[in-house]
């Protein structure tokens, strides 16, 4: 049993002072506020629960900053996708692992302690295992989600040549999951990811969901683009979220990634289902997707988490800041997302996103509480932005001050993986990443 003492800690009920946390193995055994430190290890600043990154396409990290040049007369998600296809065609398993390792270290250093890898570049088959290797090497917990990707568009249109590496069927996805179960541990989980309603026909979707383990997460892209909504309505007679709610057993196992374009009945229906909305604010802004109706969704008690998606950002604080700011721009007012737990936006968003992300990954994490995994994000108590800060002001400084170096130490399942802003593998990983990108861009 190890004990840690924090002057300030973000608990499910809000910020608490003089918190003693007992850790047994990788889990939290007890949490006591208003305690004495005794012989416990003193943390070097305020501590928050680790954040889950619920939506990752790791290879796209190497594209960050490369696509922000006008590529078409009308540049949007669909023109960006063509650039992504070109980039992906050259990707080798070794390069994929190098990119993922760099990404996962960056995530850890900013406060993500687990990731859901939505994996659709299936060929060669070792690509999925390379992401598992990268996660184990770097110490981040991973939920692997092999994707079912059968068609190029609605009405079962055959895959294009440039999509050949995505090809899969229900059996191949389930075989991947079965193979991964041999590698299952506290740090590794599995689920399934029917890619989207445009890439998976209704029968295959229902077959995959029926065959999946009843505890496995199910993630699917939905309603990211208005064109997707229009084409889905023509092909299936319903909007994407509407169709899923009416035709699938959507419940707490499900994560609908993006769900950007919903009507009022879809907002309330998704919230009532218990599923998680997987929001990726920096990617959705980068691609011009649109703005999620967060105020109405939270008003209906909807659950949500955050993801890096294309990884133009690797910082959960930046995702949460952008999530709030776009709501302010739409509503033309400030401090929109607060809760009965806290009137502070930073506190509210961190607690809610951490809890929603944990659910989406199928993990007991996302809170500093007894029985949860010991995932700690320790801020630098001596940083200028932490000066004289207490309680809600700490989370607000993290989310809204814009500082990129507030995270000092990070623990995953009782093990320190970042100490004094340094990860043990970061120099080697950076060199391998640089080599991989150089090869891809040659």
H or E element that contains 53 = strand 51-56
Percent of the chain clearing pLDDT 70 (strictly above):
100
CATH code given to domain 2-49+365-418: 2.30.40.10
Over residues 253-286, the pLDDT tens digits come to 999 999 999 999 999 999 999 999 999 999 999 9
Q: Which long-range contacts (CB under 8 A, 24 or more apart) does 174-179 make?
A: 174/208, 174/211, 174/212, 176/125, 176/128, 176/146, 177/146, 177/212, 177/213, 177/216
> Is the pLDDT confidence value at 67 over 90?
no
Structure tokens at 274: 């218990």
> Is the pLDDT confidence value at 2 over 90?
yes
Structure tokens at 4: 């840690």
pLDDT at 142: 97
Cα-Cα-Cα-Cα dihedral sign, residues 361, 65, 291, 196: negative
Active site residue 309: yes
Q: How far is the C-alpha of 135 from the C-alpha of 142, rounded, in Å?
A: 6
Non-local (6+) Cβ contacts of 161 within 8 A are none
Q: Within its chain, how far is the Cα of 110 from the centroid?
A: 13
- Whole-model pTM? 0.97
pLDDT at 185: 74
- pLDDT bin (cut points 50, 70, 90) of residue 220 is very high
What SS3 class is residue 81? helix
Find the range with the poorest average confidence among 36-50, 169-183, 361-375.
169-183
User: H-type helices in 289-416, by residue range?
Assistant: 294-299, 316-331, 345-361, 392-400
Residue range 36-53: mean pLDDT, rounded: 97
Q: Within its chain, how far is the Cα of 380 from the centroid?
A: 24
- pLDDT bin (cut points 50, 70, 90) of residue 182 is confident
pLDDT at 139: 97
> Is the pLDDT confidence value at 205 over 90?
yes
H or E element that contains 440 = helix 426-441
Over residues 223-254, the pLDDT tens digits come to 999 999 999 999 999 999 999 999 999 999 99
- pLDDT bin (cut points 50, 70, 90) of residue 73 is confident
Closest CA to 213 of 167, 180, 240: 180
What are the boundaries of each domain within the chain?
Answer: 2-49+365-418, 51-361
- pLDDT bin (cut points 50, 70, 90) of residue 383 is very high
Active site residue 258: yes
H or E element that contains 272 = helix 264-273
Q: How far is the C-alpha of 124 from the C-alpha of 8, rounded, in Å?
A: 48
pLDDT at 137: 97
- In order, the DSSP letters of 181-195 are HTT-BTTEEE-BEE-
- Name the CATH superfamily for 51-361: Metal-dependent hydrolases (3.20.20.140)
Structure tokens at 269: 């229906």
pLDDT at 438: 97
List 195, 221, 258, 383, catalytic entry: 258
Q: Backbone phi, then psi, for 369, in 5-degree steps?
A: -155, 155
What SS3 class is residue 55? strand
Q: Backbone phi, then psi, for 385, in 5-degree steps?
A: -75, -10
Structure tokens at 249: 């057993």
By the 8 A CB rule, do 373 and 363 touch? Answer: yes
List 289, 309, 380, 409, catalytic entry: 309
> Is the pLDDT confidence value at 97 over 90?
yes
pLDDT at 181: 83
Find the range with the poorest average confidence among 83-87, 158-162, 207-211.
83-87
Average per-residue pLDDT for the chain: 96
Strand 407-412 with 376-379, pairing: antiparallel
């Amino acid at each position: 049993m190890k004990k840690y003492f924090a002057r300030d800690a973000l608990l499910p009920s809000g910020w608490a002072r003089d918190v003693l946390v007992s850790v047994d193995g990788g889990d939290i055994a007890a949490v006591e506020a208003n305690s004495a430190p005794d012989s416990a290890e003193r943390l070097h600043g305020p501590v928050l629960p680790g954040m889950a990154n619920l939506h990752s396409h790791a290879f796209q990290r190497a594209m960050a900053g490369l696509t922000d040049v006008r590529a078409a007369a009308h540049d949007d998600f669909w023109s960006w996708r063509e650039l992504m296809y070109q980039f992906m065609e050259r990707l080798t398993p070794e390069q994929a692992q190098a990119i993922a390792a760099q990404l996962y270290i960056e995530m850890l250093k900013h406060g993500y302690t687990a990731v859901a890898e939505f994996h659709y570049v299936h060929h060669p088959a070792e690509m999925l295992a390379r992401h598992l290797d990268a996660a184990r090497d770097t110490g981040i917990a991973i939920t692997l989600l092999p994707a079912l990707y059968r068609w190029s568009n609605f009405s079962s249109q055959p895959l294009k040549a440039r999509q050949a590496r995505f090809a899969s069927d229900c059996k191949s996805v389930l075989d991947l999951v079965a193979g991964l179960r041999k590698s299952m541990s506290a740090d590794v989980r599995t689920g399934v990811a029917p890619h989207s309603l445009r890439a998976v026909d209704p029968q295959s979707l229902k077959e995959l969901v029926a065959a999946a383990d009843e505890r496995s997460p199910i993630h699917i892209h939905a309603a990211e683009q208005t064109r997707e909504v229009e084409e889905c309505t023509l092909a299936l007679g319903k909007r994407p979220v509407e169709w899923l709610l009416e035709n699938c057993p959507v419940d707490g196992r499900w994560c609908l990634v993006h769900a950007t374009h919903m009507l009022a009945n879809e907002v309330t229906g998704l919230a009532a289902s218990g599923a998680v909305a997987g929001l990726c604010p920096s990617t959705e802004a980068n691609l011009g997707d649109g703005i999620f109706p967060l105020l109405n969704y939270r008003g209906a008690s909807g659950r949500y988490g955050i993801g890096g998606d294309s990884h133009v950002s690797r910082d959960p604080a930046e995702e949460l800041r952008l999530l709030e700011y776009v709501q302010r721009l739409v509503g033309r007012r400030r401090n929109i997302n607060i809760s009965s737990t806290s009137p502070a936006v930073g506190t509210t968003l961190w607690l809610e996103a951490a809890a929603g992300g944990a659910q989406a990954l199928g993990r007991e994490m996302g809170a500093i509480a007894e029985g949860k995994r010991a995932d700690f994000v320790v801020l630098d108590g001596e940083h200028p932005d932490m000066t004289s800060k207490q309680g809600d002001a700490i989370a607000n400084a993290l989310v809204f001050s814009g500082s990129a170096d507030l995270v000092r130490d990070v623990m995953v399942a009782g093990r320190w993986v970042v100490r004094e802003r340094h990860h043990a593998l970061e120099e080697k990983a950076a060199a391998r990443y640089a080599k991989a990108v150089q090869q891809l861009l040659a």
